[in-house]
Amino acid sequence: MKNKDKIDKPEAQGKTGDVNLKDPDAEAELKLDENGTDDGVLHSTGVLPAQSIRALIHAKRIQAVQEIREEQIQPASLDLRLGAVAYRVRASFLPGEGVTVRDKLTAFGMHEIDLTSGAVLERGCVYIVPLMESVSLGARVSAMANPKSSAGRLDIFTRVITDGSSEFDRVRPAYKGPLYAEISPRAFSILVHEGSRLCQLRIRRGSPPASDTALRRLQDESQLVHTDEGRENISKGKIGVTVDLRGDGTSPIIGYRAKPHTDLIDVDKVDHYAPEDYWDVLHVESRPSIILNPGDFYILASREAITVPPDHAAEMVAYDTLMGEFRVHYAGFFDPGFGYAATGGTGSRAVLEVRSHEVPFTVEHGQVVGRLMYERLVALPDKLYGMGIGSSYQRQGLMLAKQFRRPRTP
């Protein structure tokens, strides 16, 4: 089955899995609507869909200092909002076992910044911002965070920290407490506000299995990465994605490089800034390759179109030392429905946020630059990317962050 032409209603698909709804943790985590029905549950483990996130909010497992709005709930993730204050710190840190983020702020904090009327976070500095949302997870429930797509495309290095954590962007099972964002603008200074959304949270129940066999089957069914049959690069539960340095034939532009000295960017503005004020354009060359300069930030695109079927979510592995001396994709999360034909996403490509490390590094057209890991959802979500939820990057090719003006058609 290659990308079904239409989407059946979630409640008509699938069957109840092996979930024990008498388990108090499972009852809230796997509810599919506010009435607590479970007709659409497909698996007992996996990423929670929108309706389960909504149920956790209703059950006060996810709370916030201001009401959580429906627009924050994505098909398989929750947008997190900056709180009212930011703390400039001397260095990044992890609290470690038994230590709170507040304890570390006492040791590393330099000064406090009020965000209620907006404030500038300067390029090259590190800030800690308490988020509006907090969580109370069940014993088998964990969460993962990543930057939102627009934050990644602005080269805003942001990650989530919790009290007692020894890892960034990981919220351990049974964690109960506040969430914090570490923010370090890399290419541009930014203007942020209380309520700005730079990162998102995915919630997972259990540890769903992953295998090359299952991924090959999913590739056959849904054509996850649009490449010639038999040329799929599948290894260790991930599928390879290559870079496009030849262009699509309609434009000579194959990428962008951030300019070193620019004005700041208000992250809450949309379709506002002139791209030429912030970016140098990279054109197709006779030899389809590019030399990445250490410290520069690039926006490139995948050669392949990407599909995320409705019952899965995908994550781009941020960095693999086997691929070379560069990092690809800060904001490596793709919601269910991205690139899916029935949601108008045919031809959607992955936009790659690229930084070279210590030395100049040459990237060739068609070189593997990232690997996608697909995770199943416990149930089909009641909303999909690209279906009336303000999805900015459906059917995208090479595209800058939504803050920049789109080319106008005559």
CATH of residue 300's domain is 2.70.40.10
The whole-chain average pLDDT of the chain stands at: 85
Q: How far is CA 213 from CA 44, 218, 305, in A?
A: 20, 9, 22
6 found inside a domain: no
Kindly indicate the confidence band of residue 330, based on its pLDDT and cuts at 50, 70 and 90. Answer: low
pTM here? 0.87
257 found inside a domain: yes
Kindly indicate the confidence band of residue 30, based on its pLDDT and cuts at 50, 70 and 90. Answer: low
308 found inside a domain: yes
State residue 394's pLDDT score. Answer: 61
| Domain count along the chain | 1
Segment (H or E) for 101 = helix 101-108
Least confident of 33-47, 64-78, 121-135, 278-292: 33-47
Q: Is 223 helix (H, G, I), strand (E, B) or coil?
A: coil
Residue type (1 letter), 360 = P
Q: Is the pLDDT of residue 147 over 80?
A: yes
Kindly indicate the confidence band of residue 324, based on its pLDDT and cuts at 50, 70 and 90. Answer: low
330 found inside a domain: yes
Distance CA 53, CA 73 (A): 7
pLDDT tens readout for residues 237-249? 999 999 999 987 7
Per-residue pLDDT, averaged over 276-294, amounts to 92
Kindly indicate the confidence band of residue 16, based on its pLDDT and cuts at 50, 70 and 90. Answer: very low
Domain that holds residue 269: 212-376
Per-residue pLDDT, averaged over 311-329, amounts to 71
92 found inside a domain: no
State residue 153's pLDDT score. Answer: 93
54 found inside a domain: no
122 found inside a domain: no
Look up residue 207 and give its two tokens: 């540890």
Segment (H or E) for 50 = helix 50-58
Q: Is the pLDDT of residue 216 over 70?
A: yes
84 found inside a domain: no
pLDDT tens readout for residues 161-199? 999 999 999 999 999 999 999 999 999 999 999 999 999
State residue 60's pLDDT score. Answer: 96
How many H-runs (helices) and E-runs (strands) does the chain carry?
Answer: 5, 27
Q: Is the pLDDT of residue 343 over 80?
A: no
